[in-house]
Chain A
Amino acid sequence: MTKSEPREIVIEAGRTERHYWADLWRYRELLYILARRDVSVRYKQTLFGVAWAVVRPLATMLVFTLVFGRIAKLPSEGAPYSLLVFTGMLPWFFFASALGESANSLVANRNLLSKVYFPRLLVPTSAILVALVDFAIGFALLNLMMLWFGYTPGWRILALPGFILLAFGAALGAGLWFSALNVKYRDFQFVIPFVLQFGLYVSPVGFSTAVIPEKWRLLYSVNPMVGVIDGFRWGCLGRNFTLHADGLILSAVLTIAVLGSGLWLFRKTERSFADVI
């Protein structure tokens, strides 16, 4: 922190904080430290520790492969079904845990909100960073599996960060909405798990989007995770998987809309968080 010019802070009712974005930058280390706290606390006093980050996706992958691949015999565009599932599951799990954690983050950190000032935006954002750590572990696992099945990632893998960013944006946007609403209406504690469970089956996690009839595909892309999951499969498993440009653009536009409106709602309500929470 610079100790040069003493800053002047003006507090007034309804005043939009002029220093908001500067403050956000000034507190960037807190973002990292909050995320690190949640990561290091996460697997404390568990017997298997970080192994859970590996076991959970693997077990889900086995079940989905069995149900959708073996029993329902859905098409896999030439890729091993387990890889198809895993490439869908990885971004979905990231989105789901990011959204779940960030939606709950303000309430979980209520003791901080009522006792100290910092830009509240850090709280839901850091929750998403935590999910990113689990994602990284899963991604390493995916790479091992791809090696095992003889898949060498091509140039397309360079597009993955873009898709992760899209998932990040979608999770943050929805997370801002839900976390701000959760402060006032605790109903959302019950809504979110339901939405996420529903979303797991609505999103193309256990199957390829190829099974969706052409005429419904654009509508299907209203769910931003459709674009992200398609993008992941395209990036990791190659050209058998087509990217639907219009669907992807729709996903991106919607994500930006959710993120923008989420930010607006969050900033509008954050000043009263401490009074309501």
Chain B
Amino acid sequence: MPHAITVTGLSKRYRLHHVGRPRYRSIREDVSFGVEALLKRLLSTHPQRERDSDEEFWALKDVSFTVAPGERLGVIGRNGAGKSTLLKVLSRITEPTDGRIELRGRVSSLLEVGTGFHPELTGRENIFLNGAILGMTTREIRRKFDEIVAFAEIERFLDTPVKRYSSGMYVRLAFSVAAHLEPDILIVDEVLAVGDAQFQRKCLGKMEEVNREGRTVIFVSHNMTTITSLCTRCLLLNQGRIQSIGAPTEVTANYYRSGFSGSGTDFTPTEHTARSRDDVAILRRARLVDSNREPIDYARIDQKLGVEMYYDILQNGCRPIPNIHVFAQGQYAFISSPSEAGPMPKGSYVSVMWIPANFLNEGVYVAGIALSSMNPVRVHFYVPDGIIFNVVDDITDPARHDYTQPIPGIIRPRLEWITAPHQALEHA
């Protein structure tokens, strides 16, 4: 079977002009720059040097890959790695500088939610407008109209101008139109990041459905959970080149390992964090470790992990309590401290908080590192975002039972379950 997408040697160059200069130009500028360049060329004794004034930037450089029909390819990479440029070139919005792309089938791209929505028009009018912009025919839109409206849950506001919509309604309507496209190849930028959590899940479900119908999807996301649970393959871009391509779990792990993810799993206070200093104790270091106390950059969901804190006690006669505050999804997940705290004479100490395997959910966790003492209550140091780390689920967790979508919740402990015929359990 031929590939749905074949990309060979794709490169895209942008020319960077001086900082502060607008992207569009006025003729005066072009003319005067032209004259300037001409003069330079005439007067210059070093003809090579003038080339440097127009800086080149390769947003994509020699990118080659193929996508089989029905595959879902996730594209990851940090900001500026070329993800958006890749999508723009694939969607024919901008032309490559070099290379070749072959796309087999009808292509729709969704780089933004609600492209072309006009605030003055009603929801009904915008459905037709947006649908047509995304490449649907009027007949197609009319056929799916009720479905689109129902999916967006905006029945009552169909004839209200969208400028009066709440942002949630706006996004739901916009995504709903897009979700009812029927392309062979769907190119999606990070559009799911908007909207409320419940609607996001609905959209993800819809995308799964889309794929079950055999569509090829290319999907950019910063959310590794979405990538691992939704994609069949993953492409990691770094500075316009392919860093790795393969199974989502491996590639996302690679992404974390290369330290791109912005997570900080090894923290050493600097002068900036001097507020964590007092005359009783001082934090020296905090880091994430595995069960052998080897430092790690991220944790698998089935892995025991530790948060270490190194600190110096500067005075004798106090009974400090180390405590760690863990946040996830913007909420307090828990606070933990040792159940026993004795007096600590002057010296250097290390405390480790062990988090069992199969306890945290997948996602980003932030650990605040603190030392305090009671009677009177006193905080010796507290670094609220000392450690930031990812927990990765490679969706082989048997408790998933082939359920591939994100599992909500701040923690996902594996608990003991017993299932047996009623009688047997009673008499056990």
Contact = CB atoms under 8 A, between A and B. Distances in A.
Interface of A: 1, 3, 6-14, 27, 29-30, 33-34, 37, 40-41, 44-45, 111-118, 183-187, 271-272, 274-277
A9 B92 contact: yes
A134 B28 CA distance: 36
Contacts of B91: 116-117
A114 B93 contact: yes
A11 B103 contact: yes
A43 to B, nearest CB: 10
Interface string B94-124: 1111111111111101011001101011000
- Interface size grouping (class) on chain B: 35 or more
Given A37-B121, A41-B118, A277-B24, A6 B133 contact: no
A10 B137 contact: no
Contact of B129 (A13, A33, A114): A33
Given A41-B121, A117-B109, A275-B14, A11 B89 contact: yes
Interface of B: 14, 23-28, 30, 88-107, 109, 111-112, 115-116, 118, 120-121, 125, 128-129, 132-138, 140, 182, 184
Contact of A276 (B23, B92, B104, B135): B23
Contacts of A45: 120
Contact of A185 (B25, B96, B98): B25
A1 B25 contact: no
Contacts of B106: 1, 3, 6-7
B86 to A, nearest CB: 12
B132 A29 contact: yes
Given A41-B118, A275-B14, A9 B30 contact: no
B128 A117 contact: no
Contacts of A1: 106, 135-137, 140
Given A112-B115, A116-B93, A29 B137 contact: yes
A113 B111 CA distance: 12
B165 to A, nearest CB: 16
B99 A13 contact: yes
B133 A30 contact: yes
Nearest to B107: A9
Contacts of A33: 128-129, 132-133, 138
A30 B134 CA distance: 9
